[in-house]
């Protein structure tokens, strides 16, 4: 019976926790990325250049960065069920309001507020997973959780083009329908999150006493044996050189990911397809991302050193981004971009297994938030700089060279940093 308690406990936690967190993340990601489709009409309606629109879209990440750490510290105090419900309610309302944008200034303000509203969910979910999964199983858990981002991009791409084609329905433009229809699910999910997400394993009615005891003992033993530390004042984690190094290394991953996902609909439109076909074609790369997010963490599990499961996919992704520039013909370019998307995302679950190797408790919450918030400034750079490169060069694919260079630097940084972390 003792030999069965570990797999039985992990299966139950996975089936109870990951689908709910994944659904929240999927809705969040759709609400974050719907701007890439709305852009196809909003640019002309609001009288913006590509660069000006990209700046507005990127303001999301400024609000996100500024409020990420306070949000995660509040989460650690009040519990995920309360804080995630608040996050969903606020970001759903702001997304719906984006559908009624009347001016560039209103667009900029609402995108900033969307970042403020959503701040804390992703690093908060990573922190929550450390309360439920032992270290050896976290990369796979994070991978399954992050599959939701791929599914979100696939669903968002599939419906984004179709919503644009509702242009004129009820007197609204297609881009307005994109925001309204994708904001409503977040508001509707609030009760399910509040009542369906336990604050901690000890409050989970669906775990037996024996399973709760096994999990508590396992996590306590890890905190004592692996060199992880709680800095007392969680804000001290922000000055830990290892946290700062991971902040810098992580920037390249969101930069490449958001740059690619933001720009893909525009690239595919250049193939001469309709909005609906554009959306359907954009489903393909995200299905490959979902598969890669399942395969790579699974392959990494149980290996003593996993740095090449982070750096390897990043280097492959960088090479594929360059290939998308030099390969001839639209089909080959699109194929390279699809594979690049899978590579860029696939190593990130393993990356997020690094902070808990030296952080625990409130320090882990602060560390996750710091790494994610600073790293996600790469998203701001992607949505502000990539369109600027496009305006300056007149090319849809030249910006991919910039993304490839940043991703290569991130891979090299991970290889250097991992050597300085406590062993597994």
Rounded alpha-carbon distances, angstroms, from residue 335 to 48, 161, 269, 331, 355:
31, 20, 15, 6, 34
217, part of any domain: no
218, part of any domain: no
Can you say whether residue 305 is alpha, beta or left, with left for phi > 0 and alpha for psi between -120 and 50 degrees? Answer: beta
Asked whether 290 and 25 are in contact (CB, 8 A), the reply is no
Q: State residue 110's pLDDT score.
A: 92
Q: Which of 139-148, 281-290, 415-424 has the lowest mean pLDDT?
A: 415-424
Asked whether 271 and 330 are in contact (CB, 8 A), the reply is yes
pTM for this one? 0.76
Residues 224-240: tens digit of each pLDDT: 655 555 555 566 767 78
Q: Which residue has the higher pLDDT, 261 or 347?
A: 347
Q: What are phi and psi of 20, to 5 degrees?
A: -70, -50
54, part of any domain: yes
Instruction: Find the mean pLDDT for residues 203-211.
Output: 90
Domain span holding position 291: 18-200+236-418
2, part of any domain: no
229, part of any domain: no
11, part of any domain: no
Q: State residue 1's pLDDT score.
A: 47
DSSP annotation of 134 reads: -
Give the number of domains in the chain.
Answer: 1
The CATH number of the domain holding residue 365 is: 1.20.1250.20
Q: State residue 262's pLDDT score.
A: 66
Quickly count: other Cβ atoms within 10 Å of residue 195's Cβ: 9
Q: State residue 87's pLDDT score.
A: 93
231, part of any domain: no
Nearest CA-CA partner of 226 in 360, 357, 367, 368: 357
Q: State residue 139's pLDDT score.
A: 83
Instruction: Find the mean pLDDT for residues 162-190.
Output: 89
87, part of any domain: yes
Nearest CA-CA partner of 35 in 46, 25, 19, 24: 46
Q: Given CA atoms 330, 331, 334, 339 in this order, what sign does their dihedral have?
A: negative
């Amino acid at each position: 019976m003792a030999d069965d308690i570990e797999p039985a406990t992990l299966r139950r936690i996975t089936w109870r926790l990951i689908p709910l967190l994944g659904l929240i993340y999927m809705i969040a990601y759709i609400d974050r990325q719907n701007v890439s489709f709305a852009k196809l009409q909003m640019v002309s309606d609001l009288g913006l250049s590509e660069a000006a629109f990209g700046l507005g879209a990127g303001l999301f990440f400024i609000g996100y960065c500024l409020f990420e750490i306070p949000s995660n510290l509040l989460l650690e105090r009040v519990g995920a069920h309360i804080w995630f419900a608040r996050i969903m309610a606020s970001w759903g309302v702001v997304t719906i309001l984006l559908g009624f944008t009347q001016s560039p200034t209103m667009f900029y303000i609402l995108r900033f507020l969307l970042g403020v509203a959503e701040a804390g969910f992703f690093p908060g979910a990573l922190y929550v997973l450390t309360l439920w999964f032992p270290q050896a199983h976290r990369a796979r858990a994070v991978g399954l959780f992050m599959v939701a981002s791929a599914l979100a991009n696939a669903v968002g791409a599939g419906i984004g083009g179709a919503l644009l084609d509702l242009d004129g329905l009820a007197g609204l433009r297609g881009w307005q329908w994109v925001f309204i229809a994708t904001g409503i699910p977040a508001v509707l999910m609030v009760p399910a999150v509040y009542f369906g997400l336990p604050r901690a394993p000890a409050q989970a009615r669906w775990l037996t006493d024996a399973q709760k005891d096994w999990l508590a003992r396992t996590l306590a033993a890890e905190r004592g044996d692996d060199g992880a530390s709680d800095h007392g004042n969680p804000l001290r984690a922000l000055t830990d050189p290892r946290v700062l190094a991971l902040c810098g290394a992580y920037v390249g991953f969101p930069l490449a990911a958001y740059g690619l996902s933001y720009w893909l609909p525009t690239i595919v439109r250049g193939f001469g397809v309709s909005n609906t076909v554009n959306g359907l074609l954009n489903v393909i790369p995200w299905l490959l991302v979902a598969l890669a997010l399942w395969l790579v963490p699974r392959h990494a599990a149980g290996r003593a050193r996993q740095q090449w499961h982070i750096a390897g996919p990043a280097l492959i992704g960088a090479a594929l981004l360059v290939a998308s520039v030099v390969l001839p013909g639209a089909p080959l370019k699109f194929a390279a971009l699809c594979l690049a998307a899978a590579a860029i995302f696939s190593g990130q679950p393993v990356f997020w297994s690094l902070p808990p190797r030296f952080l625990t408790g409130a320090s882990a919450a602060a560390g996750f938030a710091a790494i994610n918030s600073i790293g996600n400034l790469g998203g701001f750079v992607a949505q502000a700089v990539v369109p600027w490169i496009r305006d300056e060069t007149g090319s849809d694919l030249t910006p991919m060279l910039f993304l490839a260079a940043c991703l290569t630097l991130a891979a090299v940084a991970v290889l250097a940093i991992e050597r300085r972390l406590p062993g597994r």
